[in-house]
């Protein structure tokens, strides 16, 4: 029985890397159940393609000028599969209807329930997902909420190993995989000036301003810059506080019990930030253009001084996200594979 799944996703400086990372988390959980993965991309640059390959998966680049459904049909023949996982904002209802009409069994990773989705499984791991109304066929499995948060296995392992923040406190900055507004660099300057603690900035595969960050770190012993660190879960787990974008990273931080200040750097992060703020998982700064880096540094200083509030936020986060979401989703997909034979 062929257990290959094609992931249709993309990541870039414009899109960010969250779609790719959650697909990688699911692909990892599926691999442990005997499933192979191929990633079909369009606008994903070479650096992010390499990231996917480093995780042990094939990458197929779809041509922009040819019909995508036709190209996917060719991949179906090449990989002998009709199982597709879609995680991209570049599609609408007609896309899923076309997939259904051409024999695909489809898994959709979604955030907004913005249109009808003809799929066998729909995943929305956001904290607000249960409030959405999905238009799906009868029999579609809806996997909604942080119970299904798509986190890599390393986060669950780091959660189990974590006991307390590192002996030498540090603040973590994780704005996202691309950071087009260069908030990492701006915050590094302001945090160094405002706080006595060490600062660790995590740069993604498409981060803008990385050379400038590295130069700043050379001049300041309290600043470390980590570009795609392999030990990211452990690095997160040891932080006293994080200043983060409001995307997929928020669930990684919650799982590890790291309190956070959330900066909304893309429109599609607004609902997520609001939901996590209401749950007390994080303090929401708001839309990035409304803030100056010095003001964010002041908020970080105040929260670092409030140990009881940080402990309460950490406990709420750990209760919300247990790190086993990708395993639960993988079980559902394997059930879908087995039930179709």
* C-alpha span between 60 and 6 (Å, rounded): 10
Is residue 313 a contact partner of residue 280, using CB atoms and an 8 Å limit? yes
4-151+323-339 matches 154-320 in fold = yes
> E strands, 207-248, where?
223-227, 241-245
Cβ contacts of residue 218 below 8 Å, gap of 6+?
Answer: none
pLDDT at 164: 63
Q: Does domain 154-320 have CATH number 3.40.50.2000?
A: yes
Name the average pLDDT for the chain. 95
Question: Model confidence over 247-283: pLDDT tens digits?
Answer: 999 999 999 999 999 999 999 999 999 999 999 999 9
pLDDT at 339: 80
CB atoms within 10 A of CB 176: 28
**N- to C-terminal Cα distance for the chain?**
9
Query: What is the domain class of 4-151+323-339 according to CATH?
Result: alpha beta
The structural domains of the chain, with segments of one domain joined by +, span 4-151+323-339, 154-320
Q: What is the DSSP secondary-structure string of 110-140?
A: -SS--S----SEEEE-STTGGGS-----TT-
Question: Model confidence over 129-184: pLDDT tens digits?
Answer: 999 999 999 999 999 999 999 999 999 999 998 766 667 889 999 998 778 899 99
Q: Does residue 1 carry a pLDDT above 90?
A: no
């Amino acid at each position: 029985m062929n257990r290959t799944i094609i992931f249709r996703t993309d990541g870039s400086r414009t899109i960010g890397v969250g779609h790719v990372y959650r697909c990688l988390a699911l692909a990892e959980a599926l691999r442990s159940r005997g499933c192979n993965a191929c990633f079909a991309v369009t606008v994903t640059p070479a650096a992010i393609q390499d990231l996917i390959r480093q995780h042990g998966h094939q990458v197929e680049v779809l041509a922009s000028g040819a019909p995508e459904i036709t190209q996917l049909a060719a991949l179906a023949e090449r990989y002998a599969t009709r199982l597709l996982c879609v995680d991209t904002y570049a599609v609408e209802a007609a896309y899923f209807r076309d997939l259904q009409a051409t024999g695909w069994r489809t898994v959709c990773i979604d955030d907004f329930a913005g249109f009808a989705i003809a799929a066998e499984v729909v995943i929305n791991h956001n904290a607000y997902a249960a409030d959405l109304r999905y238009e799906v066929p009868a029999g579609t499995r809806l996997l909604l909420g942080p119970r299904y948060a798509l986190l890599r296995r390393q986060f669950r392992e780091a959660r189990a190993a974590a006991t307390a923040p590192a002996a030498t406190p540090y603040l973590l900055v994780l704005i996202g995989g691309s950071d087009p507004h260069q908030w990492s660099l701006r915050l590094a300057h302001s945090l160094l000036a405002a706080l006595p603690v060490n600062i660790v900035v995590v740069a993604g595969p498409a981060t803008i301003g990385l050379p400038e960050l590295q130069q700043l770190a050379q001049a300041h012993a309290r600043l470390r810059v980590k570009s795609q660190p392999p030990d990211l879960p452990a690095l997160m787990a040891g932080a006293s506080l994080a200043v983060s974008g409001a995307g997929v990273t928020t669930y990684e931080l919650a799982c590890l019990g790291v309190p956070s200040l959330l900066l909304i750097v893309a429109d599609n992060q607004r609902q997520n930030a609001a939901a996590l703020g209401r749950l007390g998982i994080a303090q929401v700064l708001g839309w990035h253009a409304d803030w100056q880096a010095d003001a964010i540094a002041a908020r970080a200083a105040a929260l670092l001084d409030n140990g009881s509030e940080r402990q309460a936020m950490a406990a709420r986060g750990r209760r919300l996200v247990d790190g086993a979401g990708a395993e639960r989703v993988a079980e559902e997909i394997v059930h879908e594979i087995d039930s179709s034979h």
